Amino acid sequence: MIDRKQAWKRLAAHITNEIVVSTYSSASDWIAEIDRPLNYFAFGAMGLASSHGLGLALAHPERRVFVLDGDGSLLMNLGTLVTIGAVAPKNFTHIVARNDTYEANGGHPIPGRDAHFAGLAREAGIAKSHRIDTLESFEALIPTLLHEDGPIFVELIIQQGELSARSYKEMYRKERRAAFKQALQNG
């Protein structure tokens, strides 16, 4: 199993001008690792990070869009996989941190713990779907995630860890949204 914070640390080392959409536990860990204008946070709309990311990928085909999602969050909007598969944005990478819990909501177990999200994504039309359970395998996949045409889906098997500090007020402050908008306009 993978420590999510370590996975995001490895990914952050390669991020330059990509848009990164994240939600709940992944967002808290991501902002602690790399706070930058092209981070977009999708709190308060559980399950919609992938939909927000898809919209950004379609609106900005010149930029790679990463969605850092959770298994519990994806379960709230599984239909998004079919839409992503049908639209097939080349600049879209969806990484689901899987620990079989609704971690941000107290660690309650998710239903369907035998389901393979990479398999669901593949059946939904996302041919490039991976199930990764070691940090080394994830790190080896990062160049593919950055440079190959998508959509790409990754089911990242993680361990449940301590939650990072979370401040919705900080993530949604007016200046952060303005910086995101400006970064998009600057290309």
**Between 125 and 46, whose confidence is greater?**
125
What single letter denotes the amino acid at residue 89?
Answer: P
pLDDT in tens, 109-149: 677 778 899 999 999 999 999 999 999 999 999 999 999 99
Residue 115 to residue 2: CA distance in whole angstroms: 18
Give mean pLDDT, residues 54-65.
97
The answer, yes or no, to whether residue 24 has pLDDT greater than 70, is yes
Categorize the per-residue pLDDT at 41 as very low, low, confident or very high, splitting at 50, 70 and 90.
confident
Tokens representing 169 are 């007020």
- E-strand stretches of 107-151: 108-109, 128-132
All structural domains of the chain with their residue ranges:
4-186
CA distances from 41 to 37, 170, 178 (A): 11, 11, 13
**Topology at the third CATH level for domain 4-186:** Rossmann fold (3.40.50)
- Is this prediction's pTM over 0.85? yes
